[in-house]
Structure 1
Amino acid sequence: MRIDQKKMRELVGRTSPYSPDELRREANVFYVGGDLPERQTIETLYDSHFQSNAALFHLTFGDEERFARAENLARLIKKNFNAYLVGRVDFCPSQKLVERAYAAGVDILDIPLHAYDHARSRECGWHLEARLRSLDSARAVFPRWSVVSSLDAGCEPAGATVAGIDALLERDIVPLVQLTAQAAALPPEQLTKVFNHLQRGWQQKRALIKPLLPLIFLVSPFAPASPKGILRGFIDSIEDRRLLAGSDLRRLLRVKEVAESYESSGL
């Protein structure tokens, strides 16, 4: 991958695509709000997906009180579409909620830290330590490299974002970095260093980011190093199906194991 400087400037002025009450499509990614009505949402997704297959569905959960609504949408998406499902939970979910999200069909869970700087996190009410605990709980439920945490470039010093990238990778959590409007105040060289460090960290830890590439290419300045040829695209599609089938099988076995455990306990 390479860093596209023009794309970086464009992303700084863009609003976040994540919303619990909006439905939109960008390229081959669906952004689905978890608070949307089920039937109309699935019908709209199906119509668009039928015209051109999406590679990834991104579901933004709303508040904890409305968790069940997004949970049902996750089940319907997983039942009707053969693609990766990323769930974003912008609060500190309990392990029970994490398990419910996984059982509902979420393949990759994003619990954003936003900032790794303690003062900044406290000031904005992001509860850094509590979110780190939730991320560790999610790691105990989801397969390796299937837990993600997003950091917002520009909302804290670049050095803090770099430290956050390293801390997440040490926990086997995939760090993602998205640009915010505040990033406009940072010199482009600093932003470039952050994204270079991010890519280097992925490579050194051999983080599995392939399922996330459609999203990464939309929310960050990364771009493919070169266009895919027909053969490369075909091989990648076969590999994507293999990874997705493995993810679904692991979930099936995990859910079955938990159900049998409850049954043996008389619950």
Structure 2
Amino acid sequence: MTASTFHIGGERAVRRLGLGAMHLPVSPARDRERGIAVARRAVQLGVNLIDTAGLYSWGANEALLAEALHPYPDDLLIATKVGVAPPGPGRQADIDGRPVFLRAQVDEALRRLRLDRIELLQLHRVDTKVPLADQIGALAELRAAGKIVHIGLSEVSVDQLAEARGITEIAAVQNRYSLLDREYEDVVDACDAAGIGFLPWRPVHPAVVTPSPVTAVAAELGATPAQVALAWLLRRTPVMLPIPGTGSLAHLEENVAAAELSLDDEQAARLDGIAGV
């Protein structure tokens, strides 16, 4: 039977199917109320891992979660990400891994989320203009200062993950990955071997709904293709922590129900054999 929980950093238990908050609407007021309702309903359904980022609506997404859920349930882990600078006069948004910038973004995230410390803080992208040791070192210093608990990375290679682990403990990786998009298969395998949580973003590839073995298995199980795709991820490795995003209550309920879907060995083998797109 597929394990239903995972311990972030070997310590913090979370249910393995979480919520990506990126698609929660923050405005206008009517849509914002829907975003708040989805976040609250997710927690009611047992979701206790929610992923956000300073990049999402440039902080408004973090503020929305605080409005919806603060004071937070004791078992709720909100993960966020830093390392992308917003656009400004004469410049576009860009990756920024300078330690001074990362420290400032963590302080802003703490304020918006109304937290004393962030349980999982992820480097949104590696800044190739700054030594990785400086970026990871800044996060390790923030952990030593008590502002964060666990450190994660996003969109990294196996080599970058290994380099970061040589500097400090890495608890999670968030890369793009799904049943139909397995570019980072080697990173999944590295996380599996090391017991590092893997949070796939865009865990349901848009093409999953086209006629394929996915739709065939869905028909056999009386499920949706998206639910099958999520069930495949959960079966792939016990470190897999899918974070499907939605701004719809109905879609949220569908996603959460995927945690109860079981694939048999023959169905899983058919899905394993799908070529990436």
TM-score (norm. length: structure 2): 0.47
Q: Which has the higher helix share?
A: 1
